[in-house]
């Protein structure tokens, strides 16, 4: 049993090895892109929505509602970013029920890359919303002595995001392998159901945490805070 899709070599391109993590990441991205194109190709007011378009609208509205609950306001940029994170992680985890598929989220390199994207998105969105000076001031709030602690907090968020997602997916895969070796005819159905459920939960938690971090960086200070820096 391989503990990570990084260990599985799929093929080579011009001498460059492509492991299962990279290959299945491409597969997930291609599926999401093709599905988005097919569902929205007739996105016009005069065309009645079909079941796939209705399902997609329900997902988008659900994500938008969750963002509004967390951030306290409608944030279109958060919808694009957090929604993409949710769909990628969810699709990666849901495809685990397909025999032979190795979810890229079971690789620490993928979860680290996703966490790094959140670490980069937080200051970018913060600077865009509050300006460079306004965002940098958050590192010395409520006093200058908090600067090193706030910096450490930023990096610890990324580390916790990566390890949490990787650990949950890997633990599920290891438990499934153990149960399949014990009772290969009964547990596959149970593990498929649990895999679908935990995959959606992990995608939701990851997207919500990213939304919390970004909304905290983009929130404007209250009038009282402006008067008493």
Separation of alpha carbons 4 and 208, rounded Å: 26
> Is the model's pLDDT at 225 over the cut of 60?
no
Positive or negative, the Cα torsion across 111, 88, 78, 70?
Answer: negative
Supply the Cα-derived Rg of the chain in whole angstroms: 21
Alpha helices for 72-186 (secondary structure H): 76-94, 108-137, 147-182
For residue 12, what are the contacts with CB-CB under 8 A and spacing of at least 6?
18
Tens-place pLDDT, residues 60-98: 888 888 888 887 777 778 888 888 989 998 898 888 777
Residues 129, 133, 139, 142, Cα dihedral to 10°: -100
What is the per-residue pLDDT for 76? Answer: 79
Domains of the chain, by residue range, sit at 5-227
What integer best gives the mean pLDDT of the chain?
Answer: 77
Higher pLDDT, 185 or 52: 52
Tens-place pLDDT, residues 133-154: 888 887 887 778 878 887 887 7
Separation of alpha carbons 50 and 47, rounded Å: 9
> How would residue 169 be classed by pLDDT, with cut points 50, 70 and 90?
low
| Helical axes 108-137 vs 187-218, angle rounded to 10° | 20
Question: Are the C-beta atoms of 78 and 211 separated by less than 8 Å?
Answer: yes
Instruction: Report helix, strand or coil for 4.
Output: coil
Question: Which pTM value belongs to this model?
Answer: 0.78
């Amino acid at each position: 049993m391989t503990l990570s899709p990084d260990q599985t070599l799929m093929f080579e391109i011009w001498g460059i090895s492509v492991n299962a993590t990279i290959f299945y990441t491409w597969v997930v991205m291609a599926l999401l892109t093709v599905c988005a194109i097919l569902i929205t190709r007739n996105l016009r007011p005069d065309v009645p929505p079909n079941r796939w378009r209705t399902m997609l609208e329900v997902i988008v509205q659900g994500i938008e509602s969750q963002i509004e609950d967390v951030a306290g306001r409608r944030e279109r940029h958060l919808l694009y970013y957090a929604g993409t994170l949710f769909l990628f992680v969810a699709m990666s985890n849901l495809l685990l029920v397909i025999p032979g598929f190795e979810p890229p989220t079971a690789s620490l390199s993928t979860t680290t890359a996703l966490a790094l994207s959140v670490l980069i998105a937080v200051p970018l969105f913060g600077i865009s919303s509050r300006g460079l000076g306004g965002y940098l001031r958050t590192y010395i709030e409520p006093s200058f002595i908090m600067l090193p602690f706030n910096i450490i907090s930023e990096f610890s968020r990324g580390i916790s995001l990566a390890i949490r997602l990787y650990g949950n997916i890997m633990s599920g895969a290891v438990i499934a392998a153990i149960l399949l070796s014990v009772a290969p005819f009964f547990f596959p159905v149970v593990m498929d159901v649990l895999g679908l459920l935990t995959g959606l939960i992990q995608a939701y938690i990851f997207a919500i945490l990213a939304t919390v971090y970004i909304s905290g960086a983009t929130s404007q200070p209250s009038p009282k805070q402006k008067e008493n820096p």
